[in-house]
Each structure stands twice: as structure tokens, then as C-alpha cells.
Amino acid sequence: MQQVAHANCNTILPAVTDFIAGNVFEDYDAFTNTFTQTKFDWTMRKKLAVVADRYVILSYGLSPTADMTHAIVIDLTQTRMGKLKLTHTSCFELRSLNSSVTEIPRDSIAFLQRDGTVKVVDFSLLETGDDAVLILGKYQYVRQKMIELNCLEVETVETTDLFTVLAMPSLNGKTFLEPVTGYPMEADEGYRKFTWDGAIGTNVSWIFKGTFNINSAIGWFSLVGNP
């Protein structure tokens, strides 16, 4: 992908290009909390779309003949990236036919499905969908020491939101063990605190699931010895 200007053009986001061209398809199952990795020797189906001069949407799917299943959303304004998991045939910019309505970029990302259904990304903080997933990590002290996750403080999560946190430790730093669910300790407006029993490893990752608008997370660990 290149960004074209009046004087020159620059290659942007090479990591995204390398991921798409890497012949490795990665996915995460939110129900079983497992990662899958599929290696292949064909070209994935992919399509590029630009929405509201702000978002670059890179849709892709493992099969070159089936619908696309994932989409990487790149926010050029805030220089952030996210991923949507949704079966679709195309992504396009949704525009209102009402001339008195000002188009809002955050309400303009639309996905077309094979049966004609159009689904629009909802960035609203009032949205209560509980199938979002955010994985942060891996967190470790040094390679020679194991750590135990004691507690985690998270902002900003509303008191009415369905929200859970899991810890995914790894003893060798690579292979994940079974996720350990955090126990809720405290819940206040815009604040949650969780504690763990047995989340021990060379490193630990956090899995946030549900409805959230996280802007900070503070974890507390203790050293428990050598691997």
C-alpha cells in the first residue's frame, strides 16, 4: 500500500502487507479461547476500501473463492488499527441521501453480505454488544523469572456493561495454558478491579471480553521463582 501525494509516494503500513502476503491465516475463537493458525500456498481473497477519507479497510478471507471473513480497519487520523470479524463480500462508504444530514465518518463503514444485508459499524458508546475481544500482552519480568498475576485495574467500563477478563499464562513463553478467569473485586462507575488465583507463567496475557471502552489498565504481579 502506498500513500500518494503531489510530490512523492511512500509505502505505508508494511506490517499489514507482510501479514496479508505471509501465507499464514491467524484467527481467535472467542468461545473456546483458542488461537488457530493455518498455513497455505494460495493467494487469499482480499479487497481494499477507503471510507470518508479517514478509514482504510482491508478485507480478507482464507478461501480465494468464498466470502471474506475479516477486515483490518486503519484509522489514518488517529493512527490506530483494529480488526472486525464479519462475513462479507464488500466494504463501502455509507452515505445519507438526506442533504440536510452531515455525514459522520464513524457512521460510514458498511459491509455488504451475500444475501444483500448491509451492516454498519457502530462506534457509539451506548452500544451494548458483548462479543468484542481485546488481547494485550505478553507481559513478563525477565526470562529467568516466573510471575503471578495478582490483580488488574481497568478504566473505563460502565457498571451495567457485561465485561470479563481472563489471564492466559505461558510457562515457556510461547505455548499458552488454559485461560484463568479473573474474580471481580470491585465495580464502580468507569472502574473495575479483578483478582486471580493461579495465573502463573513466564509471561501472562490479558483477554478482555464483552462491552468496554478501555483507556487504561494497571496490572499487579509478584515474582514466584525460576521456570
The yes-or-no verdict on residue 102 having pLDDT over 80 is no
Mean pLDDT of 106-133: 86
Global pTM reads 0.85
Q: Top-level CATH class of 132-225?
A: mainly beta
Residue 129, classed as helix, strand or coil, is: coil
- DSSP per residue over 27-41, as a string? EEETTTTEEEEEE-S
CA pair distance 76, 74, nearest whole angstrom: 6
Q: What is the pLDDT of residues 186-208, one digit of tens each?
A: 988 889 999 999 899 999 999 99
The partner residues of 37 in beta bridges, in order of sequence, read 26
Collapsing DSSP states into helix, strand and coil, what is residue 73?
Answer: strand
**CATH 2.60.40 residue ranges in the chain?**
132-225
Is residue 45 within 8 Å of 27, Cβ to Cβ?
no
pLDDT, residue 156, reads 86
pLDDT of 3 reads 83
Question: How far apart are the C-alpha atoms of 159 and 131, rounded to whole Å?
Answer: 17
